[in-house]
Structure 1
C-alpha cells in the first residue's frame, strides 16, 4: 500500500500532459489514482487481487432468455463476485415511462436493499450484468455506510470505479455505450458515469497495479474500450 501511495504521489506532482498519450486529462487521471488508493484503504488490497470477471460461460454458465428469473440468477453471480450476499437484495423491474432515461436504480426500502432494472433491458444479458454491478457497488458503498452520497458529488463515478476495482470493469466498459435498433432507427444509450477514456485508464491502472503486463482479459474488451485501454497502458508503461 505504501508503495502505491508513493508512486501515485509522484505522478500527481508531475502533472504529465495529455500529449504524452494518456487518454484522460490530468484532473481525471489524478482522481482515478487517488480514488483507487481510497478504495484499497476501504476494502483492503486483497480485494484488488480477485479475478477479472469476463462475459464468458466460465463466469456466467447459465442459459439466459431474458426473464426476471434469469436476471435474478445473474444477480446471484454478480453479487458473489462483488462480495455481496444476494439474499439480502430484492430485485424488481420498472417500465421506461416510470423512470425515463434511467437504466437501473438502488434504494433502501424498509432497511432492505432493492435493485430495479428497466424492463426493456432484460433481453440483453451483458447490459443486465453491467446495471446490476453498478447498483451492487452502490450497496457496498452506501448500504455498508462507507460514503454519504449527499456529501460526495462524485459518488456515481466512484461507484463505477469500484466495479473496476472489484473486477467487473471489462463488462462495464463494454456496455458504457450501447447500440440498439428501434422503429425510429439506431438508438445509442450510455450506462454508467465514467467515460470510455476513463474506463480505459482505470483498467490500465488496474493491470499496472497488479503487475499484469499482458493480461488475457484485455482481449475481451470491445473495440472502443480496447483502444482507450491500450493507449493508457502505453502511457503507464512509459511514464510509470
Structure 2
C-alpha cells in the first residue's frame, strides 16, 4: 500500500452508531476522583456489607402491578425502601404535598426543552422528629417515586445520623451517591433524566457514541432532571459499586435503562482494562 493510501485509510472516522464496548471512563478526572473518594467514604461509614446488600429492582418486591399511587400504597412503598436502605420504618413520618398548580404556573414561564429541575421531595426535622415530604404530582410513577423517596431517606442516613453536614457544597450530590450505595442505584440512575411520556413511548439501546439524550434532544422534546448527579456520574458510581460487590457482569444491570446500561458496560470494561494494564508492562 502506498503512502497516499495509508493516509486515506487512517483518515476514515468511526461511525457514531457503530456497535462497540469501548473501555472508556464516562466522567472527567475531577468527577472521577470525587466519586471514588466518596464511595470509599461511604464504605467506611456504612461498611462494605451495606454495598453488597440487596439491589432494589422494579416490580412486585417494591410495589404491586396495580399500583395507583394511593396514600396506603405510597406508605407501603416507603416502608419497603427503608428496609432496603437499612433504616427503621417507624423512624420517619410521611407528609404529602401537591405541586401540580405550581408546575402549571412555571410551565408558562420556562421551556423544559433544555431540562428543568424542581423539588419533588424534602427531608425535614421538626421538634426532634424526622419527616419525609413527597410530591403527589410524582406519585403516579412508582419507579420515579422510589428514586425520590430513596434520596430523602439518604438524607436521613447522612444528616439525621450526623454523618455529614447540609452546609457542605456537595451534600446533595453525596445524597444521590448514598442512595446508590444503599441499594437504590437502579432507580436513581434511571430517573436521572426523564423524557415526557407523550414523546418517549419507546426504548432503545444506544450504539457507539450515540446516547438517548442525543437521539431525543435533537427534536422538540421535553425532558427533566431528577437528582443532582448526571447519567455519567451514575455510570461510574455503579461501576465502583460493582467493584465493592465483586461483580463483573451484574444481573441487576438488565433493569437499567438502555443508555445507562450501555455506559455501565463501558465503565466495567474500563475497570477491567485498568486492572490488566500492569500485566502488560
Please classify the TM superposition score into its range, dividing by the shorter chain length: 0.7 to 0.9
Q: Are the equivalent residues in 1 in contact too, given 2:122–2:134 (CA < 8 A)?
A: yes
Give matches, 1:1-240, under 5 Å.
21-61=24-64, 63-96=66-99, 97=101, 101-150=118-167, 152-181=168-197, 187-240=222-275
Tell me the CA shift for residue 179 of structure 1. 2.3
- More helix, by proportion: 1
In the aligned structure 2, how far is the partner of 1:229 from the partner of 1:133? 21
Alignment coverage as a number of residue pairs: 219
Cα offsets for 1:30-60 (capped at 9, x unmatched): 1111011111111112211102111122444
Residues 181 and 187 of structure 1 are in contact (CA less than 8 Å); yes or no, is this contact kept in structure 2? no
- 1:63 deviates by 4.2
Instruction: Sort the Cα spacing of 1:159 and 1:210 in 2 relative to 1 into closer, same or farther, 3 A.
Output: same
Q: Say if 2:63 and 2:142, in contact at 8 Å, map to a contact too.
A: no
The answer on whether the counterparts of 1:21 and 1:235 sit within 8 Å (CA) in structure 2 is: yes
Deviation at residue 208 of structure 1 after TM alignment: 2.0
Which protein shows a greater Rg? 2
Structure 2, unpaired ranges of 5+? 1-21, 107-117, 199-219, 276-281
8 Å contact kept, 1:129–1:171: yes
CA RMSD, Structure 1 to Structure 2 (Å): 2.0
Equivalents in 1 of 2:133, 2:102: separation in Å?
Answer: 11
Is the contact made by 2:38 and 2:174 (CA closer than 8 Å) also made in structure 1? yes
Residues of 1 paired with 2:154 and 2:124: CA distance?
12
Whole-Å separation in 2 of the counterparts to 1:56 and 1:119: 20
Structure number with greater CO (CA < 8 Å, separation at least 6) is: 2
